C-alpha cells in the first residue's frame, strides 16, 4: 500500500496534551456553577431486603438540606441499557437487590451536610435471604432476585452451527476443560460525576459519560421529554473502559433534585460507591470441549457457560452473547455450539468491561487449546498457526471477515519474542505462552433500536481560513479520539493538523455519534469525519478552479496548499481560497455521516458481535516463577496487532499498552471480593490491586502492515483487542513454566504456589 498521506500515520502531539499535563483540563467534578448544590444517594446496606418504610422527615429538618427524594418523587418507569431487559428503577420501590442499591437522595448546600442528611433518613428493612453464589442461582428453592425472572435466569442462549456431535464423534482427539473467571472492575481514575441544571423545561447535564447520545436518549425517555430538551455535555474524562456507558443514577437523581430546588446539583460517587455501582467484568464458569484431528486442526467446539450478572441487566445481555459470539474469530472451524445462562444474584450488576464478554472465554479457550496441543505433542504456536483464520472468510455464526492477518501476527510474534529458541532453552521456572485475540470494530447495531446513522460530523472552516473546527459527537475518554479525528479531518481536507480545533461530545452543538464503546470511533466516527473533510476539499478546489482558471480535477490540496498537478508554480493557500469562498458563497462547511451495512445472520442473537471489520492480534509473554512463593515476575510481553491503517502510532501503541495493563491485572492481580453478606471487601485501591508503573514489564508492541478495505483509509479496531489474548497468554506462560495449570482467574501467587505444592506432593506419593 503506497502511503503518501501527509497528516495521518504520524505521531502528532495530542490535541489535549498541554491542558492535561498542566492540570488546566477541567473534568466534570472540577466544574462549579453559581448556587450549585451537592447531591448524594443513599444506598442499601443489605444484599436483599424488603423496604418496609422510609422516613425522611428528620433529614428534611436539617439546616442546609434543600431536597430529599425517594421513589415517590421520581418516575417509576424502569430503565437500563439493554432494551430487552429494562429492570432498574431510579430508586428502589419494594425491595433492594444488592448492597449499594439506590434508595433515596439529598441535595444540600455542601458535601458534609449531604452525609449528615443521609444518616438521618430512616429506612426500615425486612432482610431477605440473598443469592450470592451464581453457580447456585438457578437451583430449586433459591430466592428470586426479580420475581418475574424464574430460576433467576436473566438471559439464556442456545446456539448451534454445523453438526457438533457428528464432528466430535469423528474427531481424533476430544478434550473438555473447565475454567472459572473472576469479577473485576474497570476502576477508572476519575470517579463518576454529573452536574444537572434546568432552564425552564430544558435540562442540561455535564457528565463523565462515554456516550452523551445514549445518556440523552435514556434521560429523555425516563422523564418523558423530547430529546431536544435534554443536553448532555462531556467535559474532559478520566477513563471509562465500559463502566461509564450507561446511566448511573447520578443523572436521574441529580435532574430531579435540580428541578425541585431550581439550582444546579452536582452528584458524584466516591471510590467505594464506584465499586458498588460496578458494571465491571462478569464472573464466568466456562466449560469448553473441542475435537481435533491428528494435526490439531479444530473440527468442532462446544462452549457451555454461565455468568454472574449481579442484580440488574446493564449491558449484560450483550456481554452474554459476546462471550460466545467472538470465540470462533481467531481460529477457523465450522461446527460450533454455544450455551449460556446469565443469572441474577444479589451482587452489584456487571456490564461491559474492556473486551466486553470476550477476554474470559478467550482465557478458557486459549488455555484449553494449549492443553490439547500438549496432549498431541504439538507446539502451541504451531497449533495456532495451523488453525488461524484467513481473510475473506465467514465464521460459523455468520460474521463476515474482510481483512485478517491472524497468521502473520502469529508468525511475527514468534520471531519477535524468540519463541523457538526460548521454547527449547528456557530454564526450569521460566515459561513462555502465546494467545490470540480479536475484537469488533464497532458494533454492527446500536444499543437501542434505531435507524439513525452511527456517527456524524461537521467541519467549519473559519472565515479567514486560518483554522477549521471539527464538530463531532464522538467521545475522547483518554484514548485520544479528539487527536486522531482532527488528523483525519486535516488529511481529508488537505489541511494542517496544527490548525485544527475540535468541539466534541455536546449533544446540542455536535452531531450525533453513539460514543466510545465497542472500539468504534476511529472507524465509524472517522468515516463521517473523512466524508466531511472531503466535502470541504471539493468546495475549495471548485473555488480555486475559478480563481486559477484551471479545471478542478487538475487541482490538489495538501497541507494547506492548493496546487496544479500539471503546471509548476500555480498555487494558492488554503487560507486565501477559504476566505474567498466565505466572501462569495458564505460559510465553508463539510458534513459527513456513517451507517454500517446490514450485517450478520438471522438466528436469535445474530446481531451481537457483528461488525464491519475485525481486529486480530497475538501476544507472547514470558514469566519467571518463584517456586517457593508462587510469585510471578513478568519478564517481557510481545504484542502484534492487525489493526488496519495506523492513524497515530504513538496513541495506537498507548492503547495496546493500556489494554495489556488491564489484561495483566485481570490475569493475576485483580478481583472484587465479597463477604458472606454480599458486601465488597476491597472497594478501595489498596486491596483491589491495580498494577503500578513499576509492575509493568518491558513491552514490545508492533503492527502488521494491514489494510481494511471497508474502513476510512483502511483503519480497524485497537483499543480493546489487546486485552483479549492477555489472560490466556498468562495462563499458558505459567503452565509452560510449571507444568501445571491453574484453572481459575486470577492466577494469584498463592494459587500458583498451591498448584506447585500439590504437584510435588503427587510426585512424592508416586515415588513412594
Partner 1 sequence: MYMPDFEYHTPETLTEACALLDELGEKATVLAGGTDVLHKMKVGKLAPGHLVSLKNLDDLRTISHEPGRGIVMGALTSHNAIYTSRLLQERYLSLPMAAHTMASNQICNMGTVGGNIVNGVPSADLPPILIALNASIRLVSSNGERTMPLEDFFHGSAETVINQGEILADITIPDQPATGSTYIKFGLRRSGALAVVGVAVSVTMDGDTLQDARVVLASAAPTVMRARGAEDFLRGKKISDELLAEAGDRASAESRPRDSIRGSAEYRRNLVGVLTKRALRKAIDEGHA
User: Which residue ranges make up the site for partner 1 (CB under 8 A)?
Assistant: 112, 115, 270, 272, 628-629, 631, 669, 673, 681-682, 686-687, 689, 691-695, 748-750, 753-754
Strand-pair partners of 484: none
Q: Compare residues 60 and 270 and give the one whose CB is closer to partner 1.
A: 270
Q: Are 238 and 186 in contact (CB under 8 A)?
A: no
Can you tell me the distance from the alpha carbon of 657 to that of 354, in angstroms, rounded to the nearest whole number? 13
Closest distance of CB 691 from partner 1, Å? 6
Q: Compare residues 403 and 748 and give the one whose CB is closer to partner 1.
A: 748
Q: Compare residues 151 and 754 and give the one whose CB is closer to partner 1.
A: 754
**CA separation, residue 449 to residues 84, 599, 607 (Å):** 10, 15, 11
Closest distance of CB 115 from partner 1, Å? 4
Q: Are 131 and 142 in contact (CB under 8 A)?
A: yes
Q: Spell out a b/e string for 260-279, using b for 16 or more CB atoms within 10 Å of the CB, else e.
A: bbebbbbbbbeeebbbbbbb
Can you tell me the distance from the alpha carbon of 286 to that of 728, in angstroms, rounded to the nearest whole number? 13
Closest distance of CB 409 from partner 1, Å? 30
Q: Name the pairing type of β-strands 455-461 and 588-594.
A: antiparallel
- Is the Cα dihedral 662, 668, 670, 676 positive or negative? positive
Q: Are 456 and 513 in contact (CB under 8 A)?
A: yes
Closest distance of CB 605 from partner 1, Å? 38
Closest distance of CB 486 from partner 1, Å? 35
Can you tell me the distance from the alpha carbon of 378 to that of 632, in angstroms, rounded to the nearest whole number? 26
Of 375, 569, 581, the C-alpha closest to 460 is: 581
The secondary structure of residue 558, as a DSSP letter, is E
Cis peptide before 746 (omega within 30 of 0): yes
Q: Compare residues 190 and 708 and give the one whose CB is closer to partner 1.
A: 190
Q: Compare residues 304 and 682 and give the one whose CB is closer to partner 1.
A: 682
Closest distance of CB 140 from partner 1, Å? 32
Closest distance of CB 108 from partner 1, Å? 13
Count of alpha carbons within 13 angstroms of residue 197, beta-carbon side:
15
Closest distance of CB 673 from partner 1, Å? 6
Q: Compare residues 50 and 689 and give the one whose CB is closer to partner 1.
A: 689
* Cell numbers that stand for 552 in this block: 478542478
**CA separation, residue 15 to residues 29, 632, 707 (Å):** 22, 38, 26
Q: Compare residues 344 and 669 and give the one whose CB is closer to partner 1.
A: 669
Q: Are 340 and 380 in contact (CB under 8 A)?
A: no
Q: Compare residues 390 and 681 and give the one whose CB is closer to partner 1.
A: 681
Q: Name the pairing type of β-strands 400-401 and 393-394.
A: antiparallel
**CA separation, residue 455 to residues 486, 507, 510 (Å):** 15, 13, 11
- Is the Cα dihedral 86, 92, 97, 98 positive or negative? positive
Closest distance of CB 682 from partner 1, Å? 6
Helix then strand then coil, in percent of the chain rounded to 5, is 35, 25, 40
Q: Compare residues 576 and 695 and give the one whose CB is closer to partner 1.
A: 695
Q: Compare residues 5 and 679 and give the one whose CB is closer to partner 1.
A: 679
Task: Count other Cβ atoms within 10 Å, centred on residue 306.
Answer: 21
Q: Are 320 and 357 in contact (CB under 8 A)?
A: yes
Closest distance of CB 272 from partner 1, Å? 8
Closest distance of CB 632 from partner 1, Å? 10
Q: Compare residues 575 and 695 and give the one whose CB is closer to partner 1.
A: 695
Query: Distance between alpha carbon 652 and the CA centroid of its chain, in Å?
Result: 16
Closest distance of CB 135 from partner 1, Å? 21
Taking each helix axis from N to C terminus, what angle separates 316-325 and 359-376, rounded to the nearest 10 degrees?
20
Q: Compare residues 270 and 534 and give the one whose CB is closer to partner 1.
A: 270
Amino acid at each position: 500500500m503506497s502511503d503518501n498521506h501527509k497528516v495521518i500515520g504520524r505521531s502528532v502531539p495530542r490535541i489535549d496534551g498541554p491542558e492535561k499535563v498542566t492540570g488546566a483540563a477541567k473534568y466534570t467534578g472540577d466544574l462549579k456553577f453559581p448556587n450549585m448544590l451537592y447531591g448524594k444517594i443513599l444506598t442499601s446496606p443489605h444484599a436483599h431486603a424488603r423496604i418496609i418504610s422510609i422516613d425522611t422527615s428528620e433529614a428534611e429538618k436539617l439546616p442546609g438540606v434543600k431536597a430529599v427524594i425517594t421513589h415517590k418523587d421520581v418516575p417509576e418507569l424502569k430503565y437500563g441499557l439493554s432494551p430487552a431487559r429494562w429492570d432498574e428503577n431510579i430508586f428502589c420501590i419494594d425491595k433492594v437487590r444488592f448492597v449499594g442499591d439506590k434508595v433515596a437522595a439529598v441535595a444540600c448546600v455542601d458535601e458534609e451536610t449531604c452525609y449528615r442528611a443521609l444518616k438521618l433518613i430512616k429506612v426500615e428493612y425486612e432482610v431477605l435471604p440473598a443469592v450470592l453464589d451464581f453457580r447456585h442461582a438457578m437451583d430449586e428453592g433459591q430466592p428470586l432476585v426479580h420475581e418475574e425472572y424464574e430460576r433467576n435466569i436473566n438471559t439464556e442462549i442456545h446456539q448451534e452451527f454445523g453438526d457438533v456431535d457428528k464432528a466430535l464423534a469423528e474427531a481424533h482427539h476430544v478434550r473438555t476443560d473447565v475454567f472459572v473467571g473472576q469479577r473485576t472492575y474497570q476502576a477508572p481514575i476519575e470517579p463518576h460525576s454529573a452536574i444537572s441544571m434546568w432552564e425552564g423545561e430544558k435540562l442540561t447535564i455535564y457528565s463523565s459519560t462515554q456516550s452523551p447520545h445514549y445518556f440523552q436518549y435514556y434521560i429523555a425517555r425516563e422523564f418523558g421529554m423530547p430529546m431536544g430538551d435534554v443536553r448532555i455535555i462531556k467535559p474532559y474524562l478520566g477513563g471509562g473502559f465500559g463502566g461509564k456507558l450507561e446511566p448511573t443514577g447520578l443523572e436521574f437523581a441529580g435532574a430531579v433534585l435540580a428541578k425541585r430546588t431550581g439550582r444546579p446539583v452536582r452528584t458524584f460517587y466516591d471510590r467505594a460507591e464506584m465499586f458498588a455501582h460496578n458494571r465491571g467484568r462478569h464472573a464466568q464458569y466456562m466449560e469448553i470441549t473441542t475435537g481435533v484431528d491428528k494435526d490439531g486442526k479444530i473440527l468442532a467446539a462446544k462452549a457451555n457457560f454461565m455468568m454472574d450478572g449481579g442484580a440488574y441487566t446493564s449491558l449484560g445481555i450483550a456481554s452474554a452473547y459476546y462471550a460466545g459470539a467472538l470465540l470462533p474469530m481467531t481460529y477457523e472451524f465450522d461446527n460450533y455450539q454455544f450455551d449460556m445462562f446469565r443469572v441474577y444474584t444479589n451482587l452489584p450488576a456487571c456490564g461491559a468491561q474492556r473486551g466486553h464478554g470476550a477476554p474470559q472465554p478467550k482465557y478458557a479457550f486459549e488455555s484449553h487449546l494449549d492443553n490439547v496441543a500438549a496432549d498431541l505433542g504439538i507446539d502451541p504456536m504451531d497449533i495456532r498457526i495451523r488453525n488461524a483464520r484467513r481473510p475473506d472468510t465467514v465464521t460459523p455464526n455468520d460474521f463476515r471477515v474482510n481483512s485478517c492477518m491472524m497468521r502473520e501476527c502469529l508468525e511475527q510474534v514468534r520471531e519477535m519474542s524468540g519463541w523457538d529458541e526460548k521454547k527449547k532453552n528456557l530454564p526450569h521456572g521460566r515459561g513462555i505462552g502465546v494467545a490470540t485475540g480479536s475484537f469488533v470494530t464497532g458494533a454492527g447495531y446500536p444499543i437501542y433500536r434505531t435507524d439513525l446513522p452511527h456517527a456524524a460530523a461537521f467541519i467549519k472552516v473559519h472565515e479567514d481560513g486560518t483554522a477549521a473546527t471539527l464538530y463531532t459527537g464522538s467521545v475522547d475518554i483518554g484514548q485520544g479520539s479528539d487527536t486522531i479525528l482532527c488528523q483525519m479531518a486535516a488529511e481529508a481536507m488537505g489541511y494542517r493538523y496544527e490548525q485544527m480545533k475540535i468541539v466534541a461530545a455536546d449533544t446540542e452543538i455536535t452531531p450525533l455519534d453513539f460514543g466510545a464503546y465497542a472500539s468504534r470511533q476511529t472507524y465509524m466516527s472517522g468515516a463521517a469525519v473523512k466524508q466531511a473533510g472531503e466535502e470541504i476539499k471539493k468546495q475549495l478546489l471548485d473555488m480555486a478552479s475559478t480563481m486559477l482558471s484551471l479545471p478542478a480535477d487538475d487541482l490538489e490540496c495538501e497541507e494547506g496548499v492548493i496546487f496544479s498537478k500539471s503546471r509548476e508554480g500555480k498555487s494558492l493557500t488554503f487560507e486565501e481560497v477559504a476566505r474567498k469562498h466565505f466572501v462569495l458563497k458564505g460559510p465553508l462547511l463539510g458534513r459527513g455521516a456513517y451507517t454500517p451495512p446490514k450485517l450478520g445472520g438471522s438466528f436469535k442473537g445474530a446481531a451481537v458481535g457483528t461488525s464491519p471489520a475485525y481486529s486480530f492480534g497475538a501476544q507472547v509473554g514470558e514469566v519467571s516463577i518463584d517456586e517457593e512463593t508462587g510469585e510471578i515476575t513478568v519478564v517481557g510481553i510481545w504484542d502484534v496487532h492487525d489493526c488496519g491503517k495506523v492513524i497515530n502510532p504513538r496513541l495506537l501503541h498507548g492503547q495496546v499498552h493500556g489494554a495489556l495493563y488491564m489484561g495483566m491485572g485481570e490475569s493475576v492481580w485483580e478481583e472484587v471480593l465479597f463477604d458472606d453478606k454480599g458486601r465488597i471487601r476491597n472497594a478501595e485501591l489498596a486491596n483491589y490491586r491495580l498494577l503500578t508503573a513499576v509492575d509493568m514489564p518491558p513491552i514490545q508492541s508492533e503492527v502488521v502492515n494491514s489494510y481494511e478495505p471497508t474502513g476510512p483509509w483502511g483503519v480497524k479496531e485497537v483499543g480493546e483487542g489487546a486485552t483479549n489474548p492477555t489472560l490466556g497468554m498468562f495462563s499458558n506462560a505459567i503452565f509452560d513454566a510449571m507444568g501445571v495449570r491453574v484453572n481459575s482467574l486470577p492466577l494469584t501467587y498463592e494459587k500458583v504456589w498451591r498448584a506447585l505444592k500439590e504437584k510435588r506432593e503427587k510426585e512424592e506419593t508416586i515415588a513412594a
